[in-house]
Structure 1
């Protein structure tokens, strides 16, 4: 099991912690990660696009011209799709883009994503943020002291309100509760920053990752 150094918000060493091999030490399964991320993004689509068929557009009740004698093809309504302003043939209608993803795949994708970041040394652990009050400047200084370059996913416990409010205004930081961990957010960020308590909650057992169902996936 790999060991990493725990840091404090000032960047100083505060001990070591052993990462769970079952969560941070597996061989990443790229096809599963791809399938789960695609399903999660599909579920997030609103699916509200809608076009009008020939029965829904306004007007077109009268026959545009008589049936015979004009030299033109017979027409019954200007609502037909080939008329300008007519209905749309086979156009999109409201629908759900949700895909059913097995929970075992969701958990495997999350573990694969975390293992990929851990293999690159991009998983960081702080003892606690310890913010007395919400302050974005202190949060930015803490990330800089930890050596974070690029986007960071800050994983916190549910009751750590000051940390959530401190990091939320930093464009390069995304705050997430440990129960909301999902493969897409892990892969979308360069660094994953846990507190000791959040790391323990994420790796305390199978039930921890059962709760980590991606946002927008009801499977």
Structure 2
């Protein structure tokens, strides 16, 4: 949910009575007209007046704890593994020339139906280029893998290099690692 909230643009805006153009003069005198007293023609009750408590630009992003993110990703991957929907291939495209046809042949050989999440290493540029324009596929690197993309995809396909990078976790520092056990990802 935090990922979807952070994706919101948050640029909605309305003008308050202070921001609406005009309305500096009192429209008519305070007493003696028989009408209700008014101080400005840009007050909220007037057409063309300001909006009371309307939307203002704001940031919708939420800070989710690292351990919670890691646990959610681990749970989503475990769920996919339990259902047999995680697959590992040695490589999607052989050679240095990108080929969508060859990459799709590998995917169809595995008989992957629905939305497919492909996790390929950053150095596997041939695979990136081969699959970036294919409908119902989403290509990510191991460090970009997230709970939302795992949950909305029907199948998850790792290349061997990407799986090794993912299970190795972050290279340095005290960051929390979202690491799946080998038994969880073998399909």
Normalising by the smaller structure, the TM-score range is 0.7 to 0.9
Larger proportion of strand: 1
* Aligned position for 1:87: 50
Of 114, 121, 127 in structure 1, the residue corresponding to residue 77 of structure 2 is 114
Q: Does the 8 A contact of 2:170 with 2:177 survive in 1?
A: no
**Alpha-carbon distance between aligned partners in 1 of 2:42 and 2:105, rounded to the nearest angstrom:** 63
Any idea what SS the aligned residue of 1:194 has?
Answer: strand
Q: Report the count of equivalent residues.
A: 175
**Alpha-carbon distance between aligned partners in 1 of 2:52 and 2:163, rounded to the nearest angstrom:** 53
Note the alpha carbon deviations across 1:98-136, whole angstroms, 9 max, x for none. Answer: 212111101000000101111111001101123432232
Aligned-residue offset at 1:148: 0.6
**Alpha-carbon distance between aligned partners in 1 of 2:105 and 2:29, rounded to the nearest angstrom:** 78
Any idea what SS the aligned residue of 1:104 has?
Answer: helix
* Aligned position for 2:24: 61
**Alpha-carbon distance between aligned partners in 1 of 2:171 and 2:74, rounded to the nearest angstrom:** 14
1:47 matched to 2:10: yes
Aligned-residue offset at 1:143: 1.4
* Aligned position for 2:134: 170
* Aligned position for 2:149: 185
**Judging changes above 3 Å, is the alpha-carbon distance between structure 1 residues 143 and 181 closer, same or farther for their aligned structure 2 residues?**
same
Any idea what SS the aligned residue of 2:157 has?
Answer: strand
| CA-based RMSD | 1.9
Any idea what SS the aligned residue of 1:203 has?
Answer: helix
Name the TM-score, length of structure 2 as normaliser. 0.86
Of 70, 74, 78 in structure 1, the residue corresponding to residue 41 of structure 2 is 78
Q: Does the 8 A contact of 1:154 with 1:192 survive in 2?
A: yes
**Alpha-carbon distance between aligned partners in 1 of 2:176 and 2:161, rounded to the nearest angstrom:** 18
Note the alpha carbon deviations across 1:30-77, whole angstroms, 9 max, x for none. Answer: xxxxxxxx1111122222211111000111122222222322101111
Any idea what SS the aligned residue of 1:110 has?
Answer: helix
Name the TM-score, length of structure 1 as normaliser. 0.74
**Alpha-carbon distance between aligned partners in 2 of 1:134 and 1:62, rounded to the nearest angstrom:** 69
* Aligned position for 1:216: none
Q: Does the 8 A contact of 1:152 with 1:172 survive in 2?
A: yes
* Aligned position for 2:181: none
